[in-house]
Amino acid sequence: MSFISKIFGKKKKSFKATCDISNEPIEKGFGYLLTTSEVVKSRKFWDNIMTEPETMSYTISHFKNQDNTATQMRSMIFDKHSTVDKPWMVSDSYIHLFDVDKSKARHMANDWWENEGNFEPANSGAALSTLDDKEYQNIKQYAIMEAGRERVA
């Protein structure tokens, strides 16, 4: 590459990542890579999601008013998260929500970083296609009908 092209040539953008839960930036070499199944199996995750400022009004209406519209919105929130077919990059701030092997998740994140996001661990894909039906239905039931109850009661 000539001196002129080095100065005026296009520079490759550096690969960046954000936490798929909080959108906070994650520095290269950090974070944890989880499958959608690992994410949705966490009750702590659902308690967190259903009590975020954007969703809290649905949670309050669901529990205090038995509002069908609010329950339908919670179902849509569940569907949005459970149908993600790519792996989730999770920051250090949110990994405590998940009961996973953190060293394995960090190792997979390193593979993900090395491949600039083009790495998918085994069992990746939407939760419905990677979990057995009974487990999926139990998770769905909790997420829609129970998550966040303690914050409202």
Lookup: tokens for 140 = 């769905």
Give the model's pLDDT for residue 14: 80
Q: What is the pLDDT of residues 44-80, one digit of tens each?
A: 999 999 999 999 999 999 999 998 999 999 999 999 9
Angle at CA of residue 129, ends 127 and 135, nearest 5°: 60
The structure tokens 């949705």 sit at 40
Q: Report the alpha-carbon distance of residue 4 to residue 15 in Å, rounded.
A: 25
Tokens of 1: 């590459």
Mean pLDDT, all residues of the chain: 93
State the Cα torsion 90-96-102-106 to the nearest 10°. 20
* Percent of the chain predicted with pLDDT > 70: 92
| DSSP assignments along 78-143, one per residue | HHHHHT--SPEEE-TTTGGG--S-HHHHHHHHHHHHHTTT----TT-S-HHHHS-HHHHHHHHHII
Give residue 11's pLDDT band: very low, low, confident or very high (50, 70, 90). Answer: low
Q: What is residue 15's predicted lDDT score, i.e. its pLDDT?
A: 84
